[in-house]
Structures are given as C-alpha cells and as structure tokens.
Amino acid sequence: MTTAPDGERGTTAAAPMSQPGPAMAVPPPRQRRSRRLLKRFFRRRLSVFGLVVLLLILSLAVFAPLFGSPSRNDFGAVLLGPSAAHPLGTDDLGRDTLARIAYGARVSMQAGVMATLLAMAVGVPLGLIAGYYRGWADLVISRFTDLLLAFPFLILAVGLAAILGPSLRNVVIALGISALPSFIRVTRGEVLGLREQDYVAGAVADGAGDGRILSRYVLPNAISPLLVQATVTVPEAIIGESVLSFLGLGVQPPTPSWGTMLSAAQTFLTQAPLLAVWPGVAIALAALSFNLVGDGLRDTLDPKATS
C-alpha cells in the first residue's frame, strides 16, 4: 500500500477510500446484489426443496402427454390399485390416475398463475394510482377494495359461477377478483412509502412526468413485495380452483382437474381410498412448493421481516 498524499484531507474525500485496506469491507457493488440474494435464498434448504418440487410439478404439467391419455376408458380395469401399468392405479372408469394427475397439473398451474397475473394486471395499476395521486382517486379505489373484501371468496366464486357458468376461464376470473384487494393494498402501501423517499421527491421536484416517476422510481422498488404477494396468491388460487372444481362450479368433467378427481373419488371412498389420496397430495405439494418458495423470497428480499 502506498502512502497517501497528506494534507489534502477534506478535498480529496474519496482518494484514500479507493484503496481498500484489509480491514475495509467495500460496500457491495450493485451487480453483486442479485448474486448475494441468490446465495441467501439457496442457503434455505426448505425453499430449495420447494423450488425443486415446483419444477417437478411444472414438468409434470408440460410433459403430461408422456404419461398417457387421461381419458381412455378401460372398463376391464376399474378402481385398480398401483401397478406397473398404472403406477397410481385407475379410477372408476378405468382411466389412468397418473395421467389424470399430470393433466390436472396443467389446470392447476394455469388457474394459479393466470388468476395471479390477472389480479396483478388490474391491481397494480389501481394501487399505483391510489398511492401516487391520493385524493379522490385513492378514496374511490379504497372503497372499491373494501367492497371487494366484503365478499368472501367462495360467495363471490359461487355467484360468478352462477352468472357466467362453470369453466376454467370463469374460475380464473373469480380467483383473480378475490386476489385483487391484496395487490391493490400492497402496491398502494409501497407507493405511499416511496413517495416520501428523497429520490422520488427529488424527481418530482425536478419536474419528471408522472409516468416516468412511476415506471423509473416507484415500480422497480415495489417489485419485491409484489413478488412475495404473488407467491402467496398462487397457492391460494391453486387451492381455490380445486375447491370450485370439487363443488362442480369449476372445471367440468371429463377435463381432468385435481378438484373434480377428488369429487369423483368421494363416491368410492371405501372401495378405492387411494383415489382420494393422490389428487389431495398433488394439491398440497403444489401449494406447499409455492409457499416454501414464497417464504424463501420474503426472507431473502426483506431480511428484516420475520416470518
């Protein structure tokens, strides 16, 4: 290490700093942040497990055709237990349970992800407007949120199913509407907090346009909590879809869905109990994997939050 120029303290503020001594922990440069976060995430073994399960379920959904047809009947082979030909057995119509679980994963993942995307697509802009402009816009949006919250999820879903008819699309709409308030509230809260930040206030003072401020300064900082909210919403929506399909208000047979499979299995609870086990395990694993990843993300992105 060289001797620093003396006498210039105060004017060459950063000069001695640029040669980090052994004791100096250099503040982590920006590009290392993502790597540090990844490292922190992967240190949590349970979250990694969740991620692996999630990837497995996703591949199950993507490669569902490899597991055979979900609708080929074989009346000579109904309500069979697990065997080489049918690893998870067959149902009351002799259809292969594994194939149906795989196709059910498609429905589940679609419902979970699309409902969440729908809620984000509507909720985030509303939250941005409410938090950024405040005033009457905030008032209207907040009352709208209260109104949505006044309808418990199943009441809303049952009503929508009655109006629109049962289908995957309508399930997604019902789930999306139920998840809307959370996204509005999270976004609004973030924006309200960020508005007070110096750099945002500075940008406002510099006369930057609203769109620019929202997209350049506010939205990027709201990403973390929104991501965490999304990982909470997806498993809720996955379970919600199975509930609606179970009740007969969602995906209609013969389309395989974990909920309709459980509903059918109810009749054969004594003869073929395993039939009621597999779809339930599938739903639980799918929801669990998202919840584990969500917990991991929350801890990683916001180590202060304790959960």
Q: Choose, by CB under 8 A, the member of 69, 83, 266, 267 that binds other proteins.
A: 266
Return the number of the residue (254 or 303) whose C-beta is nearest other proteins: 303
Contact status: 52 vs other proteins (CB under 8 A): no
For every residue of 111-179, DSSP letters joined together read HHHHHHHHHHHHHHHHHHHHHHH-HHHHHHHHHHHHHHHTS-HHHHHHHHHHHH-S-HHHHHHHHHHHH
Q: How far apart are CA 126 and CA 145, in angstroms?
A: 10
Return the number of the residue (194 or 243) whose C-beta is nearest other proteins: 243
Kindly state the smallest distance separating residue 85's Cβ from other proteins, in Å: 25
Contact status: 284 vs other proteins (CB under 8 A): yes
Return the number of the residue (159 or 209) whose C-beta is nearest other proteins: 159
Return the number of the residue (79 or 247) whose C-beta is nearest other proteins: 247
- Under rule CB under 8 A, which residues in 123-152 are in contact with other proteins? 143, 146-147, 149-152
Return the number of the residue (145 or 218) whose C-beta is nearest other proteins: 145
Contact status: 171 vs other proteins (CB under 8 A): no
* Three-state DSSP class for residue 221: helix
Contact status: 295 vs other proteins (CB under 8 A): yes
* Chain centroid offset of residue 68 CA: 29
Contact status: 22 vs other proteins (CB under 8 A): yes
Closest by alpha carbon to 129, among 195, 178, 227? 195
Angle at 24 between CA 23 and CA 27, to 5 degrees: 150
Contact status: 300 vs other proteins (CB under 8 A): no
End-to-end CA distance of the chain: 45
Residue whose structure tokens are 């490669």: 63
Contact status: 235 vs other proteins (CB under 8 A): yes
Q: How far apart are CA 280 and CA 264, in angstroms?
A: 13
Stretch touching other proteins by CB under 8 A, among 17-25, 111-119, 130-138, 197-205: 17-25
